[in-house]
Amino acid sequence: MPDRPRYLRGGRFRHGGGLPVRAWAVLFGLVLSVVAAVPAAAAPDPVSPGPVPRGHGVSMLVTPPRLTIAASQIVKPQWLEIENRGSVPLNVDAELEGLAQNGNGSSLLEADAPYSATTWVTLTPNHFQVDPGTRRYIRVLVRVPPSPEPGDHNLAIILLLPASPGRGNIHIAQGVGVPVLITVPGQVIDHVSLAQLAAPGFSAGGPINVTATVRESGDVHHSFISGKARLAARSGGATVLFPSFTVLRDSTVTVTTKWKDPPVICLCHITSSVTSDGQRTTVTATVVIFPVFQVVIGVGVIAALLLIFQFLRLHHRRRLSAAYEAGRRSGVDIAPD
């Protein structure tokens, strides 16, 4: 069976590399939409004891969650810290995979991913054990080939644990993945732009979904992660932030946020903009907000009150007419109201 692309959804990916009786599930830390780059530490001792929090079962923490290696840092070794926070020893195998991106911003593992740097990286060690309550460091060394293309070249480091038996002939392998984004020195271009901003044309009230499509046509990644770098949608005085995410080079990502408290009635023009490479792109979406259901209910309540008032008024007039008629018959002149 040929290798199939492996997709990451919700922190898990499935491995289809010709294993008909084995399912792989990895608790994968390379969700580009939620993690920030963490600088690599200086060379540590290969094995270091605690203090490492300990629990029960299998628990592995990898730091940093993403390696972003700038052009000036390529020649320096990078380090990953693996902590065993469980109660059983971890026998870890480290593998390299090509890294691409899905349209929703999640990571995609592909052997033939564009701009792959899997042949550039050496892991030392690539198989090791981490005892409970201790941490272990592995070295990530990048060797750039001669005359590389400037810009980003990507891969993922997969730290896999041995498969544990499952039901029938299915075995489950757990692990953690770390995306690695390497920027090759040279003239690079970060040209990120907004292709579209979408919102429902009409809303009867309540939260509104706003969707932005972002394109990176340059040769490096662009991160919308923290502070002023977050992508935002604005309408009047309201500002809504999109979730943190990263767009890889030559990729398009669509992200959605929720405007939780829009006005009750509004012809709202929602705008979003990004500035990159000295150029600013702005996109706009328009939504009409009118509380149809509340208005219908209000009209219904008013109509019901008017009917009740008319009924009571008619009932009152009938009582007066009956009293007048009774008085007239008895010889008493009672003028009706």
Q: Is 12 left (phi over 0), alpha (psi -120 to 50) or beta?
A: beta
Q: What is the distance of C-alpha 179 from the center of its chain?
A: 16
Tokens of 331: 């010889």
Confidence band of 34 (pLDDT split at 50, 70, 90): very low
Confidence band of 49 (pLDDT split at 50, 70, 90): low
End-to-end CA distance of the chain: 95
CATH class of this structure's domain 6-184 = mainly beta
Q: Nearest Cα to 137, choosing from 57, 13, 33, 52?
A: 52
Q: Decide: 100 and 116 in contact? Cβ < 8 Å.
A: no
Tokens 């195998």 sit on residue: 93
Q: Is the pLDDT of residue 187 over 60?
A: yes
Tokens 């002939």 sit on residue: 169
Q: In what order do the strands lie in the sheet with 175-184?
A: 67-69, 175-184, 151-160, 90-97, 127-130
Residue spans of the domains in the chain: they are 6-184, 192-289, 293-337
Tokens 């984004």 sit on residue: 181
Which pLDDT value is given to residue 6? 43
The count of other CB atoms within 10 Å of the CB of residue 172 is 15
- Report pLDDT digits (tens) over 244-266: 999 999 999 999 999 999 999 99
309, containing H or E segment: helix 292-329
Residue type, position 11, single letter: G
How buried is 272 (Cβ within 10 angstroms: 0-12 exposed, 13-18 middle, 19+ buried)? buried
Indicate the average pLDDT of the chain.
82
Of 102-111, 124-133, 165-174, the range with the lowest mean pLDDT is 165-174
Fold match between domain 6-184 and domain 192-289: yes
Q: Is 119 left (phi over 0), alpha (psi -120 to 50) or beta?
A: alpha
Q: How many helices (H) and strands (E) does the chain have?
A: 1, 27
What CATH number does the domain located at 192-289 have? 2.60.40.10
For residue 50, the SS3 value is coil
Please tell me what DSSP assigns to residue 211: E
Residues 6+ apart with CB under 8 A from 174: 25, 26, 27, 58, 60, 160, 161, 164
Of 261-265, 273-277, 317-321, the range with the lowest mean pLDDT is 317-321
For residue 323, the SS3 value is helix
Of all residues in the chain, what percent carry a pLDDT higher than 90?
55
Tell me which range, 44-58, 119-133, 306-320, is most confidently predicted by mean pLDDT.
Answer: 119-133
